[in-house]
Amino acid sequence: MSSRVHPTAIVDPAAELGEYVEVGPYSIVEAEVRIGGGTQIGPFCRFQGPTTIGTGNRFMSHCSIGVQPQDLKFKGGPTRLEIGDNNFFREFVTLHRGTPGGGGVTRLGSHGLYMVGTHIAHDCQIGDHVIFANNGTLAGHVHVGDHATIGALSAVHQFCFVGEYAFIGGGTIATKDCLPFMKTVGSRPARCFGPNSIGLERKGFSPERREAIKSAWRLLHSGKLTTREALERLESELANAPDAMRILQFVRASERGVILARG
C-alpha cells in the first residue's frame, strides 16, 4: 500500500513519504521533509524542512512542524528538526528547527505525548517517553530527559535542563534546572517538593531505588548543610546508588543552578 494523500492536501514532489503515510485535508508537506512509514497527519497541518520524522507518529490537526526558529539572529542556514518514532502530537503543537549558533538541530525522541498547544523552541533536545500537558512551553536550547513530565501551562527558561523522570507541575515557571526524579512546582520562584514517589513507583522503580532518591533529597534539602557539603556527603554515603549519583552529576553539571527551595 502506498501513502494516502487527501485531494485537498499539498505535498511537494521533493518531500519523501514512507509506506502507509496518511496526509489529511488541507495539510501541507513542503520540500526537504521526510516522513516515516505509518505516520498519520490530520487536517490543516504544515510541515517545513529540513525535517525528518520517524515511523508511526500521529499529528492530530493544526500542527506547525519544522518552521524556522523565533530567533531574531536567524538569517537562514542548514538547520533541521528530527523526530523519533511513535509520538502523538495533539492540536496546535509547534516544533521549530534549530539555529546555526545552537547546534543546528532540534531533536525529539520517541514515544512522547505532546498535548494541545505544546511549543518546542529551537535547539531543544527531548528524550523518550515524555509527556507535555496542554500549553507546555520550552524556550530555546532546553534539554528534557527521558520520562519527564511537563505540566499544563508551564514554561522552561532557555538553556535549562529538566532531568529524567522529573515532574514539573502545572503553571510552573522554571528559570533554573529541574532535578531528575523530583517534583518541581510553582511560579517565580518555583520550588522543589522532593521525589516524585508515586510517579517513580508507577514507572517500576524498586523500593530501594526510591529510598536512595529520598536520601539524596534529604541531604540536598538539609538546612544544616551547604550545597557543597550535601554533595560531598551524597557522594560518600550513596556511592552505590546509581540514581543518587545521577542527581549528584546533574547538580554538579548545572550552569544555571538547580531548583531546590521548598515551600
Q: Which of 62, 96, 119, 122 is catalytic?
A: 122
CB 42 within 8 A of CB 28: no
Is 263 one of the catalytic residues? no
Q: Which of 56, 117, 123, 128 is catalytic?
A: 123
Q: How far apart are CA 210 and CA 189, in angstroms?
A: 26
Is 140 one of the catalytic residues? yes
- The secondary element (H helix, E strand) that includes residue 227 is helix 227-237
Q: How far apart are CA 217 and CA 244, in angstroms?
A: 9
Is 122 one of the catalytic residues? yes
Which residue type occupies 15? A
Taking Cα atoms as reference points, which of 189, 169, 165 lies closest to residue 242? 165
Strand order in the sheet with 94-96: 10-11, 28-29, 46-47, 64-67, 94-96, 119-120, 137-138, 155-156, 173-174
Q: Which of 24, 84, 127, 140 is catalytic?
A: 140
Cell of 218: 534529604
Active site residues: 122-123, 140
